[in-house]
Amino acid sequence: MGSGALGMEMMQNEFSAIGMRNIWNDVNRLEKICEVEITLAEAQAELGIIPADKAKIIREQVNVENIDMRKLRLSYGKSGHFLSGFVKYFEDILPDDAGSYLHYGSTTQDILDTGMVLQLKEAHEDTLKRLKKLMRLISSKANALSDVVGVGRAHGNHAIPINYGYKLAIYLNELMDLYQRLKDSEDYVFTSAISGAVGSYAGYGDKGLEMAELVAEKLHLSFDKIGWHTQRGRFVEYTHILAMLSGVMGKMGKNLFDLSRSEIKEFDESYGKGRQGSTAMPTMRNPYLSEAVYNLANLIHNEMNLMYQSMLVSHEKDTIGWRNQWVAIPEITMYLSGQFAYLTAAMQNGTFHLEAIERNLHTEQGMLVSERLMMALSSEIGKSAAHKLIYNIGNESREENTSFEENVRADQAIQKALSDEELDELFNVHTYVGQSEKLGKEILNNYANFKF
């Protein structure tokens, strides 16, 4: 059994999804290391650097199925260096001296960095798959609410009305942008790292550059002849995009949490039969999904400190920043998978309550259209005077606990400036949404035509 939030069997599903965890487990890491070593040997054989028959043995026998984990751990422990232990393990079991040509001319970072890139590429595909599903769900909800008007909130308080479909479509707009940024990063991020001890290809001989490009081609990775062992910025940039993606989801989780509050109740997470909210209060239905989405954004953003620090590499190599990324990259992608799982469940099974959305439009007795009233009066008495008049009526209504709308209608200056029919229209919250309905539908149309 593992340890910590991502390792404990009774806790790990609260922080991550099993599919993403499997990408970063021991077996998959070893598979990728084997794949890189095999591909290196095959490229060297094609170029006449090592004998073809030795590369064939390496291809056939360097695999996870041939690894005794206990013996590998002992080999690693004895050498004090993981990849040295790995190479020694296979040198001892490969026949016909093929082990002498494993890891030929290579350096640890070539193999481990390239292997990590292969893992990250799988994590990337998993992330895109989850993101596409979430966008579909948000689009569906936004479409369903495209004719609904709700409260627009500023600083946690009622501001002016907004089209509810637009309220959700804004998230979709951000997610489409980040999806495209992730796609655009692929060639830069998913790059092989075969360049030798200090990035000079010296150990690989005269055919080193040709060999490294061939390895990249075989692994379906891009190739950069300038070794990037010390240039960790590609991963910082990539995880920065993931952190922004996490931030959008975290913001959505926070807002769904607010909308779930008892006094608002515009949104409810699904509570199927048997789901519990509290051991103390049997009737509680807490918005745990939304809370988790918000919490995981905090965890991911904290991981970015490690990523930024990982760029501070000494000269041509050290393991300090490297080790930062070994921790942060898997954890960021795993936490992100947990965010997707929670927010997808909330969107798929949660309910937006139309009655509550409508009710909340009227809880402040007309103050939701104070901007509209001010602008209508501005052409008659000037904006500053209109602002002061509506401001004073608002204060009076709060202090005396009276109806804002009734006080507006009773004001003599307003009666002179606006007719009852005009006031009826001005107080109609459903017709004061600006361009939000149009913009919401524009975003949904952009999504319908989005090229994945």
Active site residues: 155, 278
Pairwise CA distance, residues 282 & 431, whole Å: 42
Structure tokens of 390? 């509506």
Structure tokens of 324? 């930062």
Evaluate whether 122 touches 219 at the Cβ level (below 8 Å): no
Report the number of secondary-structure helices (H) and strands (E) in the chain. 19, 4
182: three-class secondary structure by DSSP: helix
Pairwise CA distance, residues 40 & 35, whole Å: 8
Pairwise CA distance, residues 176 & 449, whole Å: 11
Q: Give the helix/strand (H/E) hosting 157.
A: strand 157-163
Only one residue has tokens 């199925």, namely 65
Pairwise CA distance, residues 400 & 422, whole Å: 26
Cβ atoms < 10 Å from Cβ of 191: 17
286: three-class secondary structure by DSSP: coil
Only one residue has tokens 């952009």, namely 446
